[in-house]
Amino acid sequence: MDFQDNLELSLGKLKTRKKNATKIVPFVALAILFTLIPLYYPSLHPKKLSQVLSSSSFQSNSSYSSSTEEKNEKIITTPSSSPQINVTRSDTLVAAPQARFINHTDEKCDLFLGEWVPNPDGPYYTNMTCFTIQEHQNCMKYGRPDRDFLKWKWKPDACELPLFDAHQFLQLVRGKSLAFVGDSVARNHMQSLICLLSKVVYAVDVSDTTDQETKHWEYRDYNFNMSIFWAPYLVKANKTEPNNTYQPFNLYLDEPDESWTTKIQDFDYVIISAGHWFFRPSMFYLNHTLVGCLFCSQPNVSQLTSFFSYQKAFQTAFRIINSLENYKGITFLRTFAPSHFEDGVWDKGGDCVRTIPFKRNENVLDDYNLEFYKIQLQELTIAQKEGKNKFRLFDATQSMLLRPDGHPSKYGHWPKPNVTLSNDCVHWCLPGPIDVWNDFLLELMKREAIDE
């Protein structure tokens, strides 16, 4: 699909006789006035979502990068370099508010458009009170010296976002179930939720495996359970070489990943997300036929982009959800959370050493972050229009774009003599800025309950 912006402003020529010039001067003045006002006050001239989604063409990435997860598997990837997309600040900021029609209950307040403000009361748990923090996100344990990054909260422009209330959440989800579908950032989110709930009650791990990829937890006093399903590509995928994670993955972009699609029908809430894995070398299949690849060396195979596979994956995932006859739950699309590598890519010294958030005008959503975000908004809108199931927007992009200070960096492990370890600017410290996702989640659930 071509997303090249083809909007043009056609200005007709003004033809008049000299004797009518004095009559036309006032109209010319008005025309100039109404042309200048939108330029200097863009909020008076909002774009439609369809214009935002087509504001720039998808371009291919030239290389990829990854960050080491536990078990030394390279699973979190971001492009090490990619062509710059020419977008303006107004282009990026308009995307979120103009997408709000996706959640009709957001008319009362747009939760996702705002800024970070000081909160001296944070954090609300520590690595000593929560047992589910994984080592590579345990920034306090591994010596992060600053604490100011824990002293912020998200403030929407038009209202207050209540801080997470564990008692209220548990009462709201009594007798219900919640599933996370995605990669290790989805797991990062689930672990944040477990930590926040630990102020009231500890979850019981009822998983039938010891690995972290698929976990099941129960809150028996509330008859509430949550699960995470490992699905970094959302669609069917396998390794080209089973024992070598550095080789390309086969992605069957029109086929479901049954590890989660066959399991979610009984869940009341499903949070679906994906992102960083789509920059890995991959072979793309449609209708069981190889149609292209990303960063492959095979001759006579078309080089396609991560945007191609990302869009196809969400199309397939949402199509499958809409086809589930017995699924009556609410699906939240948690949008892409940008990484924050600076002064180099992940494997060339890139790091995230900032200690305070960006102000809203200090960072711009651009390049692949913007394109992934637009793909998600577009496919979510299509899924809502075509299907009978409930889809809702859970926009983490705008808030997390402003939090370069919230990543583990080098504080996810102890230093090793004569060993260079890459910095983690993809995942989020626990506690940390990702905890706001559960502020969002609780408020979204409350709105759904009121709407019902």
Q: At what angle do helices 184-197 and 436-451 cross, to 10 degrees?
A: 80
Beta bridge partners of 67: 76
CA distance 366 to 352: 18
Of 287, 273, 283, 281, the residue nearest 376 (C-alpha) = 273
Q: Output the pTM of the full model.
A: 0.80
Provide the phi-psi class of 282: left if phi over 0, else alpha when psi is between -120 and 50, else beta: beta
Token pair, residue 260, equals 């989660």
From 106, 424, 435, 439, the catalytic residue: 424
For tokens 């959302």, what's the residue? Answer: 234
CA distance 1 to 347: 33
Per the annotation, the verdict on 288 as an active-site residue is no
- According to DSSP, residue 162 is labeled P
Torsion sign across C-alpha atoms 271, 272, 277, 279: negative
Torsion sign across C-alpha atoms 188, 91, 344, 306: positive
For the segment(s) 42-451, the CATH number from 3.40.50.720, 3.40.50.1110, 3.90.226.10, 3.40.228.10 is 3.40.50.1110
CA distance 74 to 281: 12
Per the annotation, the verdict on 427 as an active-site residue is yes
pLDDT at 157: 96
Token pair, residue 50, equals 């369809």
The amino acid occupying position 362 is: E
CA distance 43 to 40: 9
Alpha carbons within 13 A on the beta-carbon side of 213: 12
Of 313, 359, 304, the residue nearest 336 (C-alpha) = 313
pLDDT at 97: 42
Residues 6+ apart with CB under 8 A from 16: 24
Cβ–Cβ under 8 Å, residues 278 and 310: yes
Domain boundaries, the chain: 42-451
Residue 371: C-alpha distances to residues 56, 245, 274, 335 (Å): 8, 26, 14, 12
CA distance 353 to 409: 7
Helix (H) or strand (E) holding 252: strand 249-256
From 136, 189, 340, 427, the catalytic residue: 427
Of 143, 49, 144, 151, the residue nearest 100 (C-alpha) = 49
Residue 266: C-alpha distances to residues 178, 263, 269, 387 (Å): 10, 7, 9, 18
For tokens 């090793």, what's the residue? Answer: 416
pLDDT at 250: 97
CA distance 192 to 435: 6
Burial 253-275 (b: 16+ CB within 10 A, else e): bbbbbeebbeebeebbbbbbbbb
Cβ–Cβ under 8 Å, residues 4 and 374: no
Of 26, 55, 45, the residue nearest 366 (C-alpha) = 55
Q: Mapping DSSP to helix (H, G, I), strand (E, B) and coil, where does residue 51 land?
A: helix
From 184, 227, 339, 409, the catalytic residue: 184
CA distance 24 to 361: 41
Token pair, residue 275, equals 């992102």
Sheet order of strands, 215-219 included: 204-205, 215-219, 224-230, 177-182, 269-272, 330-334, 390-394
Beta bridge partners of 351: 342
Per the annotation, the verdict on 208 as an active-site residue is no
Per-residue pLDDT of the chain (452 residues; tens, 9 = 90+): 433 333 232 323 333 333 344 444 444 444 444 444 333 333 333 333 334 444 433 333 333 333 434 433 443 445 543 333 333 333 444 344 444 445 655 567 899 999 999 999 999 999 999 999 999 999 999 999 999 999 999 999 999 999 999 999 999 999 999 999 999 999 999 999 999 999 999 999 999 988 878 999 999 999 999 999 999 999 999 998 888 877 899 999 999 999 999 999 999 999 999 999 999 999 999 999 999 999 998 899 999 999 999 999 999 999 999 999 999 999 999 999 999 999 888 777 799 999 999 999 999 999 999 999 999 999 999 999 987 789 999 999 999 999 999 999 999 998 888 777 889 999 999 999 999 999 999 999 999 998 77
